[in-house]
Structure 1
Amino acid sequence: MFTLFRWMVRLVTLALVALVLVGLGAWYFASRSLPDYNASYSVSGISAPVEIVRSTEDVPHIFGKTDADVFFALGLAHAQDRLWQMTVLRRTVQGRLSEVFGAETLKTDELMRRLDLYGAAVKSVAAQDEQTKAALEAYARGVNAWIEQVNKGALGRGAPEFFLFKADIAYWTPADSIAILKLLAAETASQVQTEVLRARVSMLGQNWVKDILPDVPGAGTAALPDYASLFPGLPPGVKLADAEGAMSPFPPRDFAGASNAIAAAPRRSAAGGTLLANDPHMAFTAPSWWYLARLELSSGGVIGATIPGIPLVLSGRNPRLGWGITSAHVDDQDLHIEELNPADPERYRTPDGWKAFDTRRAIIEVKDAQPVTITLRWTDNGPVLPAGHFNLAAITPPGDVVSLNWTALDPADTSMSAGLALMQAGSVEAAVAAGERYIAPAENLILADEKGVGMVTIGAIPARDPGHTTQGRMPSPGWETVNRWQGRLPYADNPRFLNPEGGIVINTNNKMIDRPFPYNVSFDWGDSQRVLRLTRLMGEREVHSRESFISAQLDTVSPAARNLLPLVGKDLWFTGEAAPEGTPERLRQRALELLAAWDGDMNEHLPEPLIYAAWMRHLQNRLIRDELGPLANEFPHLEPLFIERVFRNTEGASRWCDVMQSAPVETCTDIARISLDEALLELKAKYGPNIESWRWGDAHEALHDHAVLGKTPILNWLMNIRQSTSGGDFTLNRGLTSGTGANPFANVNGAGYRGVYDFADPDSSVFIIATGQSGHPLSRHYDDLSDLWRRGEYIPMSLDPDLARAAAAGITRLEPAAPDDK
């Protein structure tokens, strides 16, 4: 027995030693990919020495003799810190994820191959101006120079993820950068999802759609046809939602692009200089989408937010001009039902008769599985989409297919050239002129120069026939001429507001203009609530400062809560005698007492935001579940305009309060009370009986998860960044909740970047991203900015070269390689 015990001890000890050795080996090889920011490299592709001066936050300040050398160094810096992220983004748009991740991503690859965004990017290279081509080529050389350094120096394959997923690291090309810009169009797109959802609700009859998907208040819209009447062969009923493929770049409807931007003219500024603040909102990831950088170009310094893979400062400033971006929600996507020839399904109906699809075959390589061959089909209206995406099968007549027309598919997309011209513009007028070449994704460009401010929508807006069957709001018959795009609206017709009388321009993805179809830009906007709060904050002061703009960015008061609570609870406040302690009635009374004294601040330390959010969630579900059935799952977030219509009984909308399957007629007060009780019981079970101890931040954690390893046990602890946060779905400091799953209040989408630019003292401008500059989990820069971001703090970034060098934490020097070294 003693001998057996000794052998067991030896085996356990040996196993522990082996485990430690494996861990040390993994750490050693992973740490090899940490870049040395004080190194010098001999590289081919530059004309003269280049310096990459790193700040203590790992922000590169790049100095070179020529613009091409500077873009080369930006490519190298991006690759040093985010090579894995860049590779995954490129594979996503190419439809080549399954080569690395297996069958899990096959559905996403199939969709991306059918859209062929990458093919459009390859063709778009030739459409760029010569300056932009040179910048793209130099940037690609810089990325490739780092890949060569990794290979030559055995630097851990460039990122630790490459040890877990064996994949070749292909060299970068100019088309890759254009493709990632097109990928951003997918990340901010929602018109397809909205068209399909509107059609599906329309098919239920009863005109539910006007309530649950209402127009943003403004001029009314002419009545649309019932979707089912357009296609008599369409089967009735509702199909359950399709799950999109893993790592799909297309977000659910509620998660499409959002953002805030403000600009104030000198007369509205306390210090006498223009002000600009911008915080684009995207899905949280680790690392962030955003990467801070400063470039010293021949036109002057440029500083702000880039996205690895793209050689542009997308939001930032130069010495004379600041710019920010918000999603414009232009209706730049249309779905078309394509009727197939019954005698030959390889032909589809056009205004001129039957026509053959443009077809080609594509092979998708799949890790640990056989390759999959698919047939790609294109119509005059665009590519044919798989029926298994976007719930298209639910709205497609039997035997027909659906095609997509989308501005991002333009094979002569000059958005990259427009972005580079913007970086070099010295005035609002020059920036507006640069925007004419911008195609997709459509953005509102908010501008501030030394004298004034402005805003213009950049991006192609489709020209539609006034007789369009559905006005682009639902899929339409693709064979009818009136439903086909007729080019683009002139850029001069894009919304623009230059040097307004009030001296301030704002945008929160809100409705900006009220023009009749087909000049309306969009029917579906990204915000109807945040704009109310921002308008109030801007009007409360005669003049503003950098600090007041920061305060607006970080504001966590919900206008939706302030508007809805008095409306929904008007018959519940302070009614009846105090109920005994421990009863559901007493819990409800205490919750109503707290909410009555609450100012709508979605503060992480308070119980009221949690009570409000849970109440509205249960209320909306009760209102829509019996009318919409399974389609109710397509509305996981609060729809404030819908709730307001119901409780104001706008056009008879209070009918939603009556439960259709029950004999009694329920009132809206009944549904409000029942929903509150349900919400409180749920919260009590999860957070305990003491209502005062509940915290919004416990439910509203920001989830900055690694896109690939975020769900892997043990590794997720290393890769994911979690933080208790304030804010909510409709606050300026937006923290969009997940809406589904075990924690529907988790914060999953918000301001991954914030910048405030003050032209009274430009070097006092401040910036922050949500995670850190590095994508390497062993780097101290992986999450070093995340706590600052959570606390609402920023870092200064100056265009003064002496300041950059004086505070340098590391300087990478690039030397042109001698001929023999090339």
Structure 2
Amino acid sequence: MGVVFRWLMRIASGLVLLTLAAIGLVYFLASQSLPDYDQTLQVKGLNAPVEIVRDTANVPHILGQTDPDVFFGLGYAHAQDRLWQMTVMRRTVQGRLSEVFGQRTVHIDKLMRRLDLYGLAHQSFEVQDDYTKAALRAYAAGVNARLDEINENALGRGAPEMFLFNAPVAPWQPGDSIAMIKLMAVQLSGHLQDEVLRARTSLMLNDPQRLSDILPDVPGAGIAALPEYAALFPNLPRYAANSEPAASWLNPVPQRGLAGASNAWSAAPSRSATGGTLLANDPHLGLTAPGIWYLARLELAKGGVIGATIPGIPAVMSGRSDRLGWGLTSSYLDDQDVHIERVNPDNPEEYLTPEGFKSFKSRPSIIEIKDAPPITLTLRWTENGPVLPGTHFNLETITPPGHVASLSWTALSPRDTSISASMALMNADTVREAIEAAELFIAPSQNLSVVDKTTVGMKLIGAMPSRDLNNQSRGRIPTPGWIAANRWQGRLPYSDNPEFVAPAGGVLGNTNNKIIDRPFPLHVSYEWGDTQRVHRWEFLMQSREVHTRDSFIEAQLDTVSFTARSLLPLIGADLWFTGEAAPEGTPERQRQIALTLLAEWNGEMNEHLPEPLIYAAWVRALQKRLIADDLGPLAKEFKHVEPLFIERVFRDIDGASAWCDVRQSAPVESCTDMARLALDDALVWISERYGSQLESLRWGDAHQATHDHPVLGEVPVLRYFVNIRQSTSGGDNTLQRGRTSGEGPDPFQNVHGAGYRGVYDFADPDSSVFITATGQSGHFLSRYYDDQAQLWRRGEYIPMSLDLDLARAAAVGTTRLMPQ
């Protein structure tokens, strides 16, 4: 027995030692790619020495003798910290993910090949101005200098992920940075999905009048009645069933409701306590680890520029100089139209145009797939844009037999000068110069908020499509592509883009709300990203005569839900403090406790409170009950609560209370019945998921920010090291926006929010502040991988200073790049 025991001990000890050795080897290999921030390096492609001083937050301050040398330094710094992220983003826009990840990403590669954004980006390089061309070339050389350093010094392949997903990393090219902007356009565009969903919903509803309830127009002037989609294509089935959904892993196409958001507001000196202009900006994107944003300071010939960059793009997208501050919000410009093209029944290589049948432009494209045979696609384009098969975006559910769908989209321009606009913006001195520089911006369309030392302004930037006044759907649903009136007529003049400069009230802002009310085709959009946050913003801005940096920070971090305050009195109107006393533990008692808590709640979506979870679960269950019988399987496409829909139903606007009656049941249900049943549904779900003690619930347990690694985040064990999870306040409709997933076992996880926050004060520019949601490094062994995460969660910031002495005083390292 003793011999057996000794051998078991030896085996166990051996296994422990082997495990420790394996962990040590993994750590050693992974740590080889940790960058050395304190070194002197000779590199190719540099004209003069470049210095990269990294302050205590690892923000690089990049100094060089010329602007191209500074952009070289930025490319090197981006590649030091975010090489894996940059290579995955480039492979995404190239349609080459499957070479590394296999079958899981074939669907994405097919879409990106058909859009051909990478090819269009490289064509666009030739139309940039000379300053931008020089910057793109220098930036690419900086990235490649880091690649050379990795190869020559065996620096762990550049990133830990490269050991698990090994594939050659091609040199960076100038056009690759333009492709990154086009990839951002994919992530920030959702009108294609909206058109398809509107068409599918119209086919599903028995009463066409109900379409304006579930997909309501933003309050304001109405629009002319649209034709039913079934009338445009009468041979479609009346009920459009769901098609097979594509895998979402690494998919850049946003789900409905997650196509970009953001906040920005500014105050003129007349509304500033210190007499200087103020600007706050927090762009919203999907939360990942590392985040999309990277903080940097560039010392250009015109002076210092500091703010948020995107790895792969040599520009500060939101930030400030000592003269100017700028920020971006999604404009929700309708810059996409789906066309249904009629294929020639006698020749499938032709499609119908206003001038008769014409041939598709076609070419083959081969997708290499890891551990599988390659596949060959036939890419086809019409005069309206690329042809998309029915397997994308559920297009097969709305495309009649003998037809195909094509896409018109401003991002498909081969003469995209958006990067030149970004370069000119960094060198602008005044609001007017910044607005003029932004005329070159094509896509993705944004609202540019900009301030100089005396003036505030906001301009919608990006190409606005020119549509015919007789367009059959006004861009709201797919239309026949062979009818001339449905086709785009080019681009509207930049002067038609909405513009607001030096308003009388002294305050400008945008929460993705409707910014203008003009008749079609100057309308900008019928779909807007916010109808709720803007009300809270208006209250906060008007509640003070003058503002400060701190009041702007307070507004960025505000978690009071206007939506909760407006909906709860409606849906609970007949339920508050009603009913007899009920025994402990019964559904009736739980309902009374929940209603008592909500009746005394001020609408603050604080992570430590139970009421936000009860409210969110209630309205989610309520919408599901209201639409399930009318929309059937299509109901699952409505993953987020639509406040205007709930309000229309409970106010019975234009007969919208009809949604409360379950058509398949004999009784006629009232809206009060549905509210009570939905509350019971919510309480049962909460009890099963979080327990039955309502007073001890925490919204933050359900509303965790999911900064997940896009690739390693699903790997067992490893995911605990690479994913960043945090309890957070806020919600779908608060200024501190934490958009929920709306699906799965954890529908209230925070998956989309402010990955960057910045507040710029031009009374004292170096008192400006900024923060990202994770950290500067993309290397999970780095101390800078998540060092900003807890600051971000707590609503704290780091200094945004152009004082080089301050950066040097506690620098974590200084890299000196010397010409070879």
CA contact (8 A) 2:305 2:321 kept: yes
Aligned residue in 1 for 2:635? 632
Q: What is the deviation of 1:7?
A: 3.6
Letter in 2 for 1:738: S
Alignment partners' CA distance in 2, 1:36 and 1:357:
53
CA contact (8 A) 2:84 2:162 kept: yes
Alignment partners' CA distance in 1, 2:295 and 2:499:
28
Aligned residue in 1 for 2:215? 213
CA contact (8 A) 2:243 2:391 kept: no
2:657 is matched with which residue: 648, 654, 658?
Answer: 654
Alignment partners' CA distance in 1, 2:212 and 2:362:
39
Q: Does 1:683 align with 2:690?
A: no
Q: Does 1:815 align with 2:818?
A: yes
Letter in 2 for 1:181: I
Aligned residue in 1 for 2:706? 703
Aligned residue in 1 for 2:226? 224
Alignment partners' CA distance in 2, 1:134 and 1:234:
53
Q: Does 1:302 align with 2:342?
A: no
Letter in 2 for 1:230: L
Aligned residue in 1 for 2:106? 106
Aligned residue in 1 for 2:329? 326
Q: After the TM superposition, which residues 49-198 of structure 1 pair with which residues of structure 2 at under 5 Å, given as runs?
A: 49-198=49-198
Aligned residue in 1 for 2:771? 768
CA contact (8 A) 1:178 1:310 kept: yes
Q: Does 1:368 align with 2:374?
A: no
Q: What is the deviation of 1:591?
A: 0.8
Alignment partners' CA distance in 1, 2:211 and 2:579:
37
Q: What is the deviation of 1:583?
A: 1.4
Q: What is the deviation of 1:582?
A: 1.7
Q: What is the deviation of 1:577?
A: 2.5
CA contact (8 A) 2:731 2:740 kept: yes
Q: Does 1:538 align with 2:541?
A: yes
Aligned-partner SS, 1:287 = coil
CA contact (8 A) 1:414 1:438 kept: yes
Alignment partners' CA distance in 2, 1:583 and 1:104:
47
Letter in 2 for 1:206: D
Q: Does 1:317 align with 2:320?
A: yes
Q: Does 1:717 align with 2:712?
A: no
Aligned-partner SS, 1:339 = strand
Letter in 2 for 1:67: D
1:487 is matched with which residue: 463, 486, 490?
Answer: 490
CA contact (8 A) 1:605 1:695 kept: yes
Letter in 2 for 1:21: A
Letter in 2 for 1:478: G
Q: After the TM superposition, which residues 231-380 of structure 1 pair with which residues of structure 2 at under 5 Å, given as runs?
A: 231-245=233-247, 246-380=249-383
Q: Please list the CA deviations of residues 15-58 of structure 1 after superposition, one character each: whole Å capped at 9, or x if unmatched.
A: 32222111111100100100010011001111211110001111
CA contact (8 A) 1:238 1:630 kept: no
Aligned-partner SS, 1:666 = coil
Aligned-partner SS, 2:285 = strand
239-248 vs 762-771, greater mean Cα deviation: 239-248
Q: What is the deviation of 1:234?
A: 1.3
Aligned residue in 2 for 1:601? 604
Aligned residue in 1 for 2:594? 591
Alignment partners' CA distance in 1, 2:168 and 2:783:
27
Aligned residue in 2 for 1:23? 23
Aligned residue in 2 for 1:39? 39
CA contact (8 A) 2:264 2:282 kept: yes
Q: What is the deviation of 1:14?
A: 2.4
Letter in 1 for 2:526: F
Q: Does 1:507 align with 2:484?
A: no
Aligned-partner SS, 2:257 = helix
Alignment partners' CA distance in 1, 2:310 and 2:581:
57
CA contact (8 A) 1:111 1:386 kept: no
Q: After the TM superposition, which residues 435-514 of structure 1 pair with which residues of structure 2 at under 5 Å, given as runs?
A: 435-514=438-517
Q: What is the deviation of 1:399?
A: 2.1
Alignment partners' CA distance in 2, 1:241 and 1:792:
42
456-465 vs 685-694, greater mean Cα deviation: 685-694
Alignment partners' CA distance in 2, 1:416 and 1:766:
25
Alignment partners' CA distance in 2, 1:661 and 1:231:
29
CA contact (8 A) 1:242 1:390 kept: no
CA contact (8 A) 1:462 1:485 kept: yes
Q: Please list the CA deviations of residues 257-308 of structure 1 after superposition, one character each: whole Å capped at 9, or x if unmatched.
A: 1000000000100011000000000000000000000000001100000000
CA contact (8 A) 2:56 2:807 kept: no
Q: Please list the CA deviations of residues 496-539 of structure 1 after superposition, one character each: whole Å capped at 9, or x if unmatched.
A: 00000000001000001001111101000000000010011000
Aligned-partner SS, 1:778 = coil
Aligned residue in 1 for 2:752? 749
Alignment partners' CA distance in 1, 2:237 and 2:631:
17
Aligned residue in 2 for 1:820? none
Q: Please list the CA deviations of residues 425-465 of structure 1 after superposition, one character each: whole Å capped at 9, or x if unmatched.
A: 01000000001110000000001100010100000010000
Alignment partners' CA distance in 1, 2:75 and 2:591:
58
Q: How many pairs are equivalent?
A: 817
Q: What is the deviation of 1:409?
A: 0.5
Q: Please list the CA deviations of residues 338-396 of structure 1 after superposition, one character each: whole Å capped at 9, or x if unmatched.
A: 10011111110111111110000000000000011110000000000121111101000
Letter in 1 for 2:45: G
- The alignment yields a C-alpha RMSD, in angstroms, of 0.9
Q: What is the deviation of 1:3?
A: 4.2
CA contact (8 A) 2:279 2:325 kept: yes
Q: Does 1:202 align with 2:198?
A: no
Aligned residue in 2 for 1:670? 673
Gaps of 5+ in 1: 818-822
Alignment partners' CA distance in 2, 1:417 and 1:301:
18
Aligned residue in 2 for 1:9? 9
Q: What is the deviation of 1:6?
A: 3.8
Alignment partners' CA distance in 2, 1:704 and 1:348:
45
Alignment partners' CA distance in 1, 2:680 and 2:448:
45
Letter in 2 for 1:37: Y
Aligned-partner SS, 1:723 = strand
Q: After the TM superposition, which residues 344-423 of structure 1 pair with which residues of structure 2 at under 5 Å, given as runs?
A: 344-423=347-426
Superposition TM-score, scaled by structure 2 size? 0.99
Q: What is the deviation of 1:710?
A: 0.6
Q: What is the deviation of 1:2?
A: 4.7
Gaps of 5+ in 2: none
Aligned-partner SS, 1:336 = strand
Alignment partners' CA distance in 2, 1:280 and 1:405:
26
Q: What is the deviation of 1:688?
A: 1.9
Alignment partners' CA distance in 2, 1:9 and 1:372:
53
Alignment partners' CA distance in 1, 2:245 and 2:150:
38
Alignment partners' CA distance in 2, 1:600 and 1:242:
38
Q: What is the deviation of 1:239?
A: 1.7
Alignment partners' CA distance in 2, 1:599 and 1:670:
25
Q: What is the deviation of 1:685?
A: 2.2
Q: What is the deviation of 1:241?
A: 4.4
Alignment partners' CA distance in 1, 2:13 and 2:547:
66
644-653 vs 589-598, greater mean Cα deviation: 589-598
Alignment partners' CA distance in 1, 2:772 and 2:494:
32
Alignment partners' CA distance in 2, 1:330 and 1:119:
24
Aligned-partner SS, 2:713 = coil
2:432 is matched with which residue: 429, 442, 445?
Answer: 429
CA contact (8 A) 2:240 2:398 kept: no
Letter in 1 for 2:239: G
Alignment partners' CA distance in 2, 1:525 and 1:294:
33
CA contact (8 A) 1:242 1:389 kept: no
CA contact (8 A) 1:706 1:719 kept: yes
CA contact (8 A) 1:603 1:727 kept: yes
Q: What is the deviation of 1:466?
A: 0.4
Alignment partners' CA distance in 1, 2:477 and 2:681:
36
CA contact (8 A) 1:702 1:748 kept: yes
Aligned-partner SS, 1:292 = strand
Alignment partners' CA distance in 1, 2:19 and 2:478:
58
Aligned-partner SS, 2:373 = coil
Letter in 2 for 1:785: Q
